Amino acid sequence: MAFCSWKGEEYYRDHFRSGTYHCVKCNYGLFSSLSKYKHDSRLPAFATPLNKDSLSKVPEKNRRLTLKVSCGKCGNPLGHEFQRDRKDGGSRFGIVSQSLKFVASFGGMETSKETEKKYCASPYSSSSSSTPPPSSSSSSSED
């Protein structure tokens, strides 16, 4: 289940449903799924924030072109802006999944727990199979 716990940490990284990503603390709209894009980094990547005041930014010490970003409303830390990271010269926002809450565009709310479960359950066939996948652990009720 190693890949699963990794997956669980950044459950929005490969999450591409249409909707908006909100601050998990104050529910303020931060990013649209339209600005989300695939990136090799371990964090979910966004190109532009939803609103001008969605994010507050402070320069990261000793790291050029890198800003610390937090929620523009409540100050919840979100991740980083990497300036000029994109081919078109734009910024990439690397945002920690745990600080986000996804709201699907059709109005359905999706909790991070559900998303995590869904992605963990997806049949990824891991190439390095040093340990056999636990096939009969679906009925365990942990937590």
Instruction: By CB under 5 A, name the binding residues for Zn ion.
Output: 23, 25-26, 28, 71, 73-74, 76
Q: What residue has token string 């990824």?
A: 124
Nearest to Zn ion of 24, 67 (CB atom)? 24
Whole-number minimum distance, CB 71 to Zn ion, in Å?
3
CA 118 vs. chain centroid, Å, equals: 15
Nearest to Zn ion of 14, 53 (CB atom)? 53
Instruction: Report the C-alpha gap between 45 and 95 in whole angstroms.
Output: 7
Whole-number minimum distance, CB 81 to Zn ion, in Å?
16
Whole-number minimum distance, CB 136 to Zn ion, in Å?
41
Whole-number minimum distance, CB 24 to Zn ion, in Å?
8
Q: What residue has token string 């601050």?
A: 23
Nearest to Zn ion of 110, 120 (CB atom)? 110
Cβ neighbours of 80 (radius 10 Å): 21
Instruction: Report the C-alpha gap between 100 and 13 in whole angstroms.
Output: 11
Nearest to Zn ion of 5, 27 (CB atom)? 27
The answer to whether 55 touches 78, Cβ cutoff 8 Å, is yes
The answer to whether 12 touches 100, Cβ cutoff 8 Å, is yes
